[in-house]
Amino acid sequence: MTFSLSDGFDSLEDFLDARAPNEPEFHQAVSEVIDDIKPIMDANSDFKSANIFERLVEPERTVSFRITWLNDKNEIEVNRGYRVQFNGAIGPYKGGQRFHPSVNPSVLKFLGFEQTFKNALTGLPMGGAKGGSDFDPSGRSDQEIMRFCNAYMQQLHHYIGPDIDIPAGDINVGAREIGYLFGAYRRITNRFQGVLTGKGLSFGGSEMRTEATGFGVMYFLAEMMKTHDDTLEGKSVVISGSGNVATHAAEKAIAMGAKVLTLSDSSGFIHDPDGLDQEKIEWVRAHKAKSGTTLAAYSEKFGGDWTKGKGPWGVQADIAAPCATQNELDEDSAKTLLDNGVLAVIEGANMPSTAAAKSLFRSADILFAPGKAANAGGVAVSGLEISQNRTRRPSDAEDVDKDLQEIMSKIHAACVEDGTRDGRIDYAKGANIAGFRKVADAMLSQGVG
C-alpha cells in the first residue's frame, strides 16, 4: 500500500492484528473496503496527513456491560451487552441491536464499521453504531424476553439519547423487543423521546419501517436491472433467511413479478417450486414468531422440499438474495450460483458473502450489490422516523414508501457514479468510495482533539 500506517506497520494485516487481535469479522469488513478507498487516500494529502484511515477503523467509543436478569425459574442469568459507537462525524450514532449467542466485539465492530458507510450513503445525518447482547432468545417465554429487555435498558440508557445514539432492531430484535426496550427507557428516564427506531405506530413508529429493509433491497435490485434494460418480471429468486429482511424482500419481489423459490433459517431451507405467495409468507412470519420453531413444518403444510443443515444456493435461479446473516454464502456456494447462471446477487444481510465468495461475484459478469448499499433502506426509514419524532408529525405510508424508493435510487446512482470503470459498474467499489468520501470530509472539517 502507498499510504502509510503509523508505528511502522508494513501491511494492513499487521496493523489489524496489532490493533484488533482476534477479530476476524472486523478484519474482513475493513479489508473489503481498503483496496477501493486507497486511491482516494493516496490522491488526497489532507486525508493522509489527518491520518483518516487509522481514525476511521477505531470506534469512537465502545461500552460493554453486565446484564443480570431473572428467568422463569427464578434463577439469575448473566449476559453481556455492548454498544459500539463507531463514528459520529455526520450525525448522532445510529444502528441496530442484535440478540444472538454469536454477538461479540468483533461482530459488532464489523457491523458498526459497515453501518458508518451505509448511513452516509442514505444522505441522512446519521453516524454509525451497532450493539446488542450474547443473549439467546430462542425458546424463551415472552415474560423472559421482557425481563431481559428491562435489564438490558437499565444499563444501555446511560449511553443513548435522541441527540447521542438512537438504536434500532436487528437479528432477534423486532417490534416486540423495541416496544419493551422503549417502555423500559421511558420508565427509567421519565422521558418520551425518539430514542429508538422501529417503534410501534401508536408510540412514535414510522409507517413502512418494518418493511423498509426488504422492500429497499428489491427497489435497489430493480434499479440495477434497469441498467441492463431488464426487470424482475418472470425472474426466479432464491432467498435465505425467514425473518424481517427475507420475508419483506420476498413479498416485494413477488409484487414485482418474480417467483420466489426458497427461504431458510438456521436449521435448513425450504424449496417451493410453485413459488411463495402472500399467504405462505404470512404463515412463515406467524410460524417463525413462535419461539424456537424451524421452517421444516412449511413443506408439511404447503408441499415442496425441506433440506436440513444447508443453505439454498444449490437451487437454480436468476437472482440470489442472502438475507440471513454474515458469512452464510461461501466460495463453493458462489461457484454453484455462477455455474447455474445467476444474473444478480443482492445482499440483504450484512456481509453475507465470505471474502472469497464476494471476490468471485465482483469479478464475474453479473450484477452484485453489497449489503451496505442494498440493505440501507431500513436505516433510511429509521432516519425518517427520527425526523417524524422531532416534529411529532407522522407521515403516511405512501409518502414514506416514495421517500424510500427515492433514497434507494439515489444510493444506486452514487454507486454508479463512483463505481463505474470501463463501462462496468462495480457497486461494492462505488458504495465504499461514496460512503468514505462523506465521512472522511466531515472528519477532516472537524479537526482533532
Map the footprint of ligand NDP across residues 211-230, applying CB under 6 A. Answer: 213
Options 62-70, 237-245, 427-435, 441-449: segment touching ligand NDP (CB under 6 A):
237-245
Q: Which of 62, 189, 266, 409 binds ligand NDP (CB under 6 A)?
A: 266
Side chain identity at 336, as an amino acid letter?
Answer: T
Q: Which of 59, 132, 169, 430 binds ligand NDP (CB under 6 A)?
A: 169
**How many residues of this chain bind ligand NDP (CB under 6 A)?**
25
CB of 175 to ligand NDP, least distance (A): 10
CB of 242 to ligand NDP, least distance (A): 4
CB of 148 to ligand NDP, least distance (A): 15
Options 10-18, 157-165, 345-353, 423-431: segment touching ligand NDP (CB under 6 A):
345-353
With cell 425481563, the residue in question is 147
Task: Note whether 245 binds ligand NDP by CB under 6 A.
Answer: yes
CB of 281 to ligand NDP, least distance (A): 13
Radius of gyration of the CA atoms of the chain, in A: 21
Of the pair 5, 379, the CB lying nearest ligand NDP is at: 379
Q: Which of 171, 225, 254, 400 binds ligand NDP (CB under 6 A)?
A: 171
Q: How many CA atoms are closer than 13 Å to the CA of 148, on its beta-carbon side?
A: 27
Q: Which uninterrupted H or E stretch holds 319?
A: strand 319-322
Using a 10 angstrom Cβ sphere, with 0-12 exposed, 13-18 middle and 19 or more buried, the burial of residue 283 is: middle
Q: Which of 350, 388, 389, 432 binds ligand NDP (CB under 6 A)?
A: 350
Task: Note whether 105 binds ligand NDP by CB under 6 A.
Answer: no
| 3 state SS of 271 | strand
Of the pair 268, 394, the CB lying nearest ligand NDP is at: 268
Options 59-67, 188-196, 265-273, 434-442: segment touching ligand NDP (CB under 6 A):
265-273
Antiparallel, parallel or unpaired: β 305-308 and 165-168: unpaired
| 3 state SS of 272 | coil
Map the footprint of ligand NDP across residues 368-427, applying CB under 6 A. Answer: 375, 378
Which of 122, 128, 131 has its CA nearest to residue 91?
128
Of the pair 328, 426, the CB lying nearest ligand NDP is at: 328
Antiparallel, parallel or unpaired: β 344-346 and 367-369: parallel
Cell, residue 131? 450493539
| 3 state SS of 372 | helix
HEC-encoded secondary structure of 137-182 = CCCCCHHHHHHHHHHHHHHHCCCCECCCEEEECECCECHHHHHHHH
Those residues with Cβ within 8 angstroms of residue 77's Cβ, 6 or more apart along the chain or in another chain: 68, 69, 70, 71
In the complex, which residue's CB is closest to ligand NDP? 243
| Residue tagged active-site, from 94, 109, 130, 259 | 130
Cell, residue 369? 450489490
Asked whether the beta carbons of 350 and 375 are under 8 A apart, the reply is: yes
Of the pair 5, 324, the CB lying nearest ligand NDP is at: 324
Active site includes 130?
A: yes
Map the footprint of ligand NDP across residues 279-338, applying CB under 6 A. Answer: 288, 323-325, 328
CB of 347 to ligand NDP, least distance (A): 9
CB of 247 to ligand NDP, least distance (A): 8
Cell, residue 130? 451497532
DSSP label of 350: S
Task: Note whether 243 binds ligand NDP by CB under 6 A.
Answer: yes
Q: Give, in degrees to the nearest 5, the angle at Cα 330 between 308 and 244.
A: 65
Q: Which of 241, 312, 370, 430 binds ligand NDP (CB under 6 A)?
A: 241
Of the pair 30, 168, the CB lying nearest ligand NDP is at: 168
Q: How far apart are CA 251 and CA 193, in angstroms?
A: 32
Binding site for ligand NDP (CB under 6 A): 169-172, 174, 213, 241-246, 265-267, 288, 323-325, 328, 348-350, 375, 378
* Residues with a known catalytic role: 130
